[in-house]
Structure 1
Amino acid sequence: MEPFQSQEEVEEEEMENGLEKWGFRENEDLNTASGFTIRQVINMVMENLDAGDERPTIPLGHGDPSAFPCFRTSPVAEDAIVEALRSANFNGYPPSAGIPPARRAIAEYLSRDLPYKLSPEDVYVTIGCTQAIEVALTVLARPGANVLLPRPGFPFYEARAAFSHLEVRHFDLLPEKGWEVDLDAVEALADENTVAMVIINPGNPCGSVFTYQHLKEVAETAKKLGILVIADEVYGHLTFGSNPFVPMGVFGSIVPVLTLGSISKRWMVPGWRLGWLVISDPNGILKKTKIVECIKVSRNISPEPATFIQGAVPHILEKTKEDFFMKIIKILRQASDICYERIKEIPCITCPHKPEGSMFVMVKLNLSLLEGINDDMDFCFKLAKEESVIILPGVAVGLKNWLRITFAIEPSSLEDAIGRIKSFCKRHGKRQ
C-alpha cells in the first residue's frame, strides 16, 4: 500500500487482490517503529559479501566477541549454569520480577560501587538489557511525553520509543570533548513534557568513559529539569583508559536513576539474555510518582529470563575471579590500541578520540579523499564486497559518514581487517 494512495485507490487495490473480505492488516505502527536497527543494517551490509572470496569474513560490525576463543566466558559461569540446570530447582516459572536469590545477588553486586546499599526489591531481572530498555521506556510513555537520547547512540532506544509513541529528541555527544554529553543542548531540548534522558556509559558506539565530574553534572542538569536518568551500563567495568567506571547510581541522591545492565558483555555471554533494571533512588521519588508500581505492572505482563540462568546468577556474580576480568580487559586494551594506531595510517579515516571502554570506536570518513564512494553506507557495502570486512555505517547510530568499528575480536584478525580496510581506501583513493 503506497502512502500517497487515495482511499478509493486503496479499496480498488484490495478488491483486485481479494483482500476486502479479510479483517486483518499489517501493523503499520510496527513497521514505522522498527526504524534502522543495527541488526538490520549489518544484514544489509552482509548481503554484499562476495561468495567467491576465500578469505574469512571479519566481523567488525556487531558487539559479540563470544565467537572468538580469546573471549570465552569464565569456567565459573559455565559451571554455575550446569549446576543450576542439574539441580532441578529451577525448572518452574519464576516470579515476574525475578527469583529472590538472583535479585539479592544483583543488588549486592551493584552495591559494591555505590555509597548506599540497594535492596533486592530495587532489582527487576530482565531478558537481557534490551528488555530493560523496553520496560524503562514503556513505563515512562504517556500522551505528549518526550525522552532525550544521545547522538550517536544505540538505535534500539529510538525503535522502542516509537513503538511506545514516545517522542524522541536528540542531544549530541561531543567528540572533541571525549564524547561528553552536550549539557547545554539537553537544557535547550527539554520542556515540561520531558520525562528522562538516556546516557550510555561506557559508551556504545563511542568507546567513551565519563568522568565522575561529568556524571555529576549530568545528574545536576537532570535534577534542574525535573527528569530522571536512564543509565545504560551494559558495558560497566569494561574500561581500559584513564577514566575508571563510575556508575550513575552514585548520584541517585541527586536525581532518580534507572540503571540498566546485564552479564552479557562483562562475562562475554550475550546469548544468555540475563539483564536487569535497577532503581537507584534512595530518596524514594520513583515510588512516590508511582513509576515503581508501573514497573511492577510491566513485569507482570512480560516474559522472564530462563529460570535456570537466574538460578546461576548468584554463583556467577559472587565467584568469578578477578583474573578473568583482568584477562578480558588486557585483550580489549591491546585490541583498542591496535585499532587506534592502525587507523592513523589511513588518510580518509579519522579517529577523534581513543576508545577507553566498551568494545567500539567511532571514526569519521573523509569522502573528499575517495572516488566512487557516495556515503558511509556505500563505503560499508563496497568494503564487504571487495574485502570481506563487515563494519557498521555511522548512519545506523545517528552519525552519517562516520563508521562504528568493533575491536572485540582476536587481535590477529583485527590486524588483518584493518589492513584490508587500508587496501580498500588506497584502491578508492583520489589520484593526485
Structure 2
Amino acid sequence: MPFDIKASEKAKRTVNPIRAIVDKVLAGPPSTCPLKRIPLSLGDPTHFGNLLPPSLLTSSLQDCASSHKFDGYVPAFGCPNLRKSVAESFSSENVKYTDDDVVVASGCSGALELLLTGLLNPGQNILVPKPGFPLYEVIAVSHGCTVKYYNLNPSDNWNVDLNSLESAFDSNTVGVLINNPSNPCGSVFSKSHLKQIIEVCEKHNTMVIGDEVYGGMVFEGSEYNSLAEVSAEMGGTVPVVSCSGMAKQYLVPGMRVGWLTFYGPGLEELKGGVKSLSQVVLGACHLAQEASSRALDDGCEEFKKELNLKLQTQAGALESGLKGCHGLTVIKPEGAMYTMVKINVEEFKDIANDIEFTKMLLDEKNVFALPGTCFGIENFFRAVYCAPVEMLEEAGVRIKEFCEDHKK
C-alpha cells in the first residue's frame, strides 16, 4: 500500500493570503517591459544595499563569533544580557521593566507567534487593524481562532475609527492589537489618540498587544509613544504586551532577534506560559543576542537619527513623484518604511481594482507594488521607500506615465 502522509489540521489552517493575491499579480506571461524592475514591494530594508546596520552591531557580531564565548545554548526565553538590555532600554520614569519582564524570540514575528500561542484558545479572537499586517490573522487562524477587524481611517491620517473598534468587541475577544508605527500605512499615532484607544480597551477589560517593531522610526513633526508608557500615564490599569526587535530599527532582519515586554497587572500566568512555550524553539541565535545586547546598551542614537532622516528623504522623493499622478491620492507617511496610495479607479478607463492596477503597472512599467487587498483594503497600493532616492524618483516617473496612459 503506498504511503499517503497527511498534514495536520493546524498546517492546513496555516495559509498566508498574500501569496494567493501576489500570484494573481504575477500571473500570465512575464513582463516584456525592457526597463529594470523597481521593487516597491519588499519590506526588507537591506535589499538595495543603501541602508546598512550600525558599525557597532557589525563589529560586535564579529567579536562575539571570534571569541567563541557565545557558541553554546542559552536559556530558551533569552540570554540574560539581552533581557537586561531590553529591560533597561525600554524602561522609563513611568515604566520599569526587569529582565523577568522580557522574553526573547526569533524575530518580532516569532515573538508574536509565541504570544498568541500563549494567549489564544480555540474560538477566541483578537481585534486587529484594517489595513494591517496579515501575519496576525495567519497566526490566529492557525490556532483555530479568528481575528475581527477595526478600521483605520485614510481620511484621518489612518487613525483608528473608534466606533469601528467599539463595535468589534464580543464575548470571545481577548486582546486588541495595535501596530504603531504602521505597516502598511506609515502612520504614527499621537499620544492623545493612543489614550483614546486604551480607554476603549479599559472599558472592555481587554489587554493591549503592541506591535512596535517600527518604534522610534518616525519623521520630523511626529512623535513615537510606546503603548506601555501611555498606559502607565493613564494609571497602568490596562496590561500591555509589546513586540519589538532588531530587524527594522537596526536594519538586521536576517539576525532574527525579537522580544516581548510585559507591562501591567494580571500578566504573570501569561508570561509564564509564554516562557514555557519558548522551550519548543530554544530561542534566537546566541551570537545575535549578545551582539544585539551591546547595540542596545550603546543606544546607537546617531545611527537612528541618520536612518530616520534617510527614510524621510526617501519617502519625500517617492511622495513627490506620486503627487502629480492622475487618479492617485497620496497620504503623507509619518514613519516606518511604507506609504499607502489610494487608487481612484473611477478615473481610469480600463482599471477596475487594485489588483488590476498593480498587475498592469508591473507588466507595462516593471514597477512592483503590493495591492491593498493584501492588507485588507481595496483600491490602494503599498509602496516601500527603502530604495535609493534615484530609484524612487524613477518609480514616480514610470507610475505617472502609467497613470497618463490609462486615464479616462
* Residue of 356, 364, 371 corresponding to 2:349: 371
Gaps of 5+ in 2: none
Alignment of 1:88-127 (within 5 A): 88-112=68-92, 115-127=94-106
Tell me which residue corresponds to 1:63: 43
1:201 aligns with 2:201: no
Offset of 1:254 from its aligned partner? 2.9
Gaps of 5+ in 1: 1-19
Equivalents in 2 of 1:320, 1:187: separation in Å?
Answer: 38
The DSSP-based 3-state class of the residue aligned with 1:70 is coil
Q: CA 1:47/1:110 → structure 2, altered by over 3 Å: closer, same or farther?
A: farther
Tell me which residue corresponds to 1:405: 383
Q: CA 1:51/1:171 → structure 2, altered by over 3 Å: closer, same or farther?
A: closer
What amino acid is the match of 1:57? R
What amino acid is the match of 2:6? R
Tell me which residue corresponds to 2:336: 358
Aligned-residue Cα RMSD (Å) equals: 1.9
Offset of 1:230 from its aligned partner? 0.5
Equivalents in 2 of 1:173, 1:309: separation in Å?
Answer: 35
Alignment of 1:233-272 (within 5 A): 233-250=212-229, 251-252=231-232, 253-272=236-255
Equivalents in 2 of 1:65, 1:74: separation in Å?
Answer: 13
The DSSP-based 3-state class of the residue aligned with 1:61 is coil
Equivalents in 1 of 2:220, 2:55: separation in Å?
Answer: 27
Q: CA 1:207/1:142 → structure 2, altered by over 3 Å: closer, same or farther?
A: same
Q: CA 1:365/1:345 → structure 2, altered by over 3 Å: closer, same or farther?
A: same
Are the equivalent residues in 1 in contact too, given 2:39–2:368 (CA < 8 A)?
yes
Tell me which residue corresponds to 2:16: 35
Are the equivalent residues in 1 in contact too, given 2:21–2:373 (CA < 8 A)?
no
Q: CA 1:170/1:178 → structure 2, altered by over 3 Å: closer, same or farther?
A: same
1:33-52 CA distance string (max 9 Å, x none): 31313x66456645668465
Offset of 1:137 from its aligned partner? 1.2
Tell me which residue corresponds to 1:427: 405
1:351-405 CA distance string (max 9 Å, x none): 2x31101011111111122233232112111211211111010000000111111
Count of residues in Structure 1 that have an aligned counterpart in Structure 2: 404
Equivalents in 1 of 2:101, 2:28: separation in Å?
Answer: 46
Offset of 1:218 from its aligned partner? 1.4
* Residue of 381, 384, 387 corresponding to 2:359: 381
Alignment of 1:8-23 (within 5 A): 22=3
Alignment of 1:314-393 (within 5 A): 314-351=293-330, 353-393=331-371
Alignment of 1:128-147 (within 5 A): 128-147=107-126
Equivalents in 1 of 2:29, 2:79: separation in Å?
Answer: 44
Equivalents in 2 of 1:40, 1:331: separation in Å?
Answer: 33
Q: CA 1:308/1:46 → structure 2, altered by over 3 Å: closer, same or farther?
A: farther
Are the equivalent residues in 2 in contact too, given 1:195–1:227 (CA < 8 A)?
yes
Are the equivalent residues in 2 in contact too, given 1:50–1:388 (CA < 8 A)?
no
The DSSP-based 3-state class of the residue aligned with 1:67 is coil
Q: TM-score normalised to the size of structure 2?
A: 0.94
Equivalents in 1 of 2:343, 2:165: separation in Å?
Answer: 27
Tell me the percent identity.
32
Q: CA 1:248/1:426 → structure 2, altered by over 3 Å: closer, same or farther?
A: same
Q: TM-score normalised to the size of structure 1?
A: 0.89
